[in-house]
Amino acid sequence: MKLRSLGAALILIAAAAPAGAQPLNLGGTPGSTPQPIQITASQGIQWQQENQVVIAMGNAKAVRGAVTVTADQLIAHYRKNTPAAAGAAQAPGSATDILNQGNTSLYEIEAVGHVHIYTATDNAWGDHAVYSMDGAVLVLTGKHLKLTTPDDTITARDSVEYYAAKRQAVARGNALIVTNDGRSVAADTLIGDLAPAAATPAAAGGGIAGQAGQLQKVEAIGHVVIHTTGDTATGDTGVYLPQQGRARLGGDVHIIQGPNEMSGSDALVNMKTGIATLLAGPGGQVAGTIIPGSAPQK
């Protein structure tokens, strides 16, 4: 369960904003050299000056480097900079100009309807995505939320969130991670901490690759269920370390192997070997029901 690209999948939308096929300064900082963004929309691009938004409508598609975002609509919310920040920039004359001049700053990007964010290896789906540039936070919501990487599939009922400053991903509501070999971790909420990624040419050029590293730890909260090749372990809370392939469960812990079941307050689960070890809490004991003649199901 490497989830090496989870962070990348979650922050793909941050790389795109509605504009023409021209270089776009996402931060609105004069003098920088942003990576060009290509935008297409079947129903055109609308500039609402009073509301300070630019909307790409109908089969909207934004491509920046290796990252593509598609949706029914892509909406860029901008604010005007102060005269000092804007410098001597000319007043824009079109929707494209408003996003390319240094006298404005984008602060929020929305993708609405049939949202699909993807690279060659990673995919994210939802109905609505909002990326706050001020806080560097992405929230993906809607039905059938799903993320896929070469190693794992992640689903959630309520939302999938990514906090870039903390390099933290959160899946809420019936959250589930399933590996290609069938092992899984489920909980009400899954919180993943990602390591900083090593710098790469793609990352230096503003692409999405390299912006998030491997998953270091997953915290599982509420109704935790871990499936290995032979055991099912449940508990109130859990911590999973992907690089070690180990998990620890706490609370009302149960380990089920075929017809056999044991209970206690703590358990260690080796996701690689499928062996779960029940531990007794301070002053407590473990208990179990063992069916004579039942063979371990490995």
111 pLDDT more than 90: yes
Output the pLDDT for position 167.
84
Q: For 41-53, b where at least 16 C-beta lie within 10 A, e where not — what string? A: beeebebeeeeeb
Q: Is residue 177 part of a domain?
A: yes
- State the residue range of the domain holding 42: 6-227
Q: What's the number of domains the chain is made of? A: 1
Give the pTM. 0.74
Of 215, 224, 214, nearest in space to 184 by CA: 224
Q: What is the largest CA-CA distance in the chain?
A: 84
Q: Is residue 22 part of a domain?
A: yes
pLDDT digits (tens, 9 = 90+) for 145-187: 998 877 788 899 999 988 888 888 899 999 998 887 778 899 9
pLDDT digits (tens, 9 = 90+) for 271-298: 777 777 887 665 555 544 444 444 444 4
Q: Is residue 278 part of a domain?
A: no
pLDDT digits (tens, 9 = 90+) for 26-69: 333 334 445 566 778 999 888 888 888 888 999 998 887 788 88
Q: Is residue 296 part of a domain?
A: no
Q: Is residue 99 part of a domain?
A: yes
Q: Is residue 245 part of a domain?
A: no
- Give CA–CA dist 241/1, Å, rounded: 9
Residues 6+ apart with CB under 8 A from 282: none
Q: What is the CATH number of the domain that holds 14?
A: 2.60.450.10
Q: Is residue 283 part of a domain?
A: no
Contact yes or no for 69/16 (Cβ under 8 A): yes
Angle at 142 between CA 139 and CA 144, to 5 degrees: 115
Q: Is residue 190 part of a domain?
A: yes
